[in-house]
Structure 1
Amino acid sequence: MAVFRSRFARVLAVIGLAAAMLVGVFVGTASACSCLPGGEGAKYARATHVFTGVVVGRALLSGDPDTAHDDKYRYLVLNYRNHKGSAPALVGVETAVGGATCGIELALWSSYVVFAQGDASDGVVETTLCSGTRLASGGPPVTEEPPTTTTPRPTALGGSSPACPPIA
């Protein structure tokens, strides 16, 4: 009976150690990207610069080796149309590396509508996964949110109800 208990204790110890190691592997520094609500019109309103351009280069800007998640990409974008703001004709667009830190990946030689923030006087602006940057094939940027209605409609009983389509 003592041999059985000793074996059982070893098996439990191995299982416990394996579980602890798995927790250590799968639980790390948590980081996630969380975006403000709103459509493209709201993103246009929040952006300092909105322009259409072609990505012609990409460079990795290494951050502090002792700090996690601070590397950035700087995309070189040939700006051929300013919709808002005054980004230069050749502009650096910086973004974090990785979606968990709100970075966005842009494809070389593709056209984008870029929604960016920052002072462009140094030739560099910033964008994120939440900024609204997208492929230009989707058309020009939407500059206003569509209107919403909260006007009450009269009911058959003379009261009013929230705006909704009539029942046929």
Structure 2
Amino acid sequence: MRAVRTALGMLLLAVGGAVSVLVTAAAPASACSCVVGGQADYFEWSDVVFTGEVVDRGTDDGTVSYRFAVDRVYEGDAPPQAVVTSGRESAACGMPDLQVGTAYVVYATADGASLTTSSCSGTREVRPSYVERVEWYAGSGHPPGAEATGDDPAAAARSEESAAIAERPLALALVGGGAAVVIAGGLLLGRRRIRE
């Protein structure tokens, strides 16, 4: 019986370790703490998503403003020239280092006519593979200043599929946690029966 308890205890430790790895997997450590997200999350958290090149930048009272020449819009609407602000401190999740002449995929939130972004938003330098993921999720987008037609059913289906995939780690963690509780309960019950 002792061998069974030892085996169950080891199994409980293995399951608990696997669950903790899944639950605590995160981005590299930094002073800025972001909720780890994927394409579906970035779009959900943003009012406007576009690609564009930084053509000008300026700083003011703890913020940095970037003027973008907008190329494609994937969420919401953006004018051909969009101004996006961010914090000047990267430790506070700001993005002070976007470079003039460099193109970015920008995920921004709107506060009235103002757009803001942060290092947690998903904003990154344009790379073909990253733009492919954006377009896989949202479709081919539309030109700046034009309304989205919303007629890309494949993008809508991919959005739903991506949201379902994003929920899988949580479901796996819940199942693993439930299994750990059942195993621990079984160990305690078995221990109680041995004493009686």
Structure 2 distance, partners of 1:107, 1:44, is 23
Aligned to 1:106: 98
Aligned to 2:46: 47
Please state how far the C-alpha of 1:41 moved relative to its aligned partner: 2.2
- Listed as ranges, the matches of 1:10-21 within 5 Å are none
Bigger Rg, which one: 1
User: What SS does structure 2 have at the residue aligned with 1:139?
Assistant: helix
Query: What is the letter of the counterpart of residue 56 of structure 2?
Result: G
Please state how far the C-alpha of 1:37 moved relative to its aligned partner: 2.6
User: What SS does structure 2 have at the residue aligned with 1:45?
Assistant: helix
**One of 51, 62, 68 as aligned partner of 1:77:** 68
Please state how far the C-alpha of 1:136 moved relative to its aligned partner: 1.4
Query: What is the letter of the counterpart of residue 86 of structure 1?
Result: D
Query: What is the letter of the counterpart of residue 113 of structure 1?
Result: V
Structure 2 distance, partners of 1:49, 1:118, is 7
Structure 2 distance, partners of 1:117, 1:41, is 15
Aligned to 1:3: none
Show CA shifts across 1:15-74 (max 9, x none). xxxxxxxxxxxxxxxxx422123223211111110000000000011x2xxxxxxx1000
**One of 69, 83, 87 as aligned partner of 1:92:** 83
- Is it true that 1:139 corresponds to 2:131 in the alignment? yes
Unaligned runs of 5+ in 1: 1-31, 64-70, 152-160, 162-168
Aligned to 1:130: 120
User: What SS does structure 1 have at the residue aligned with 2:110?
Assistant: coil
Q: Which has the higher helix share?
A: 2
Structure 2 distance, partners of 1:76, 1:98, is 19
Q: Percent identity?
A: 31
- Is it true that 1:38 corresponds to 2:28 in the alignment? no
TM-score after normalising by structure 1: 0.59
Please state how far the C-alpha of 1:80 moved relative to its aligned partner: 1.3
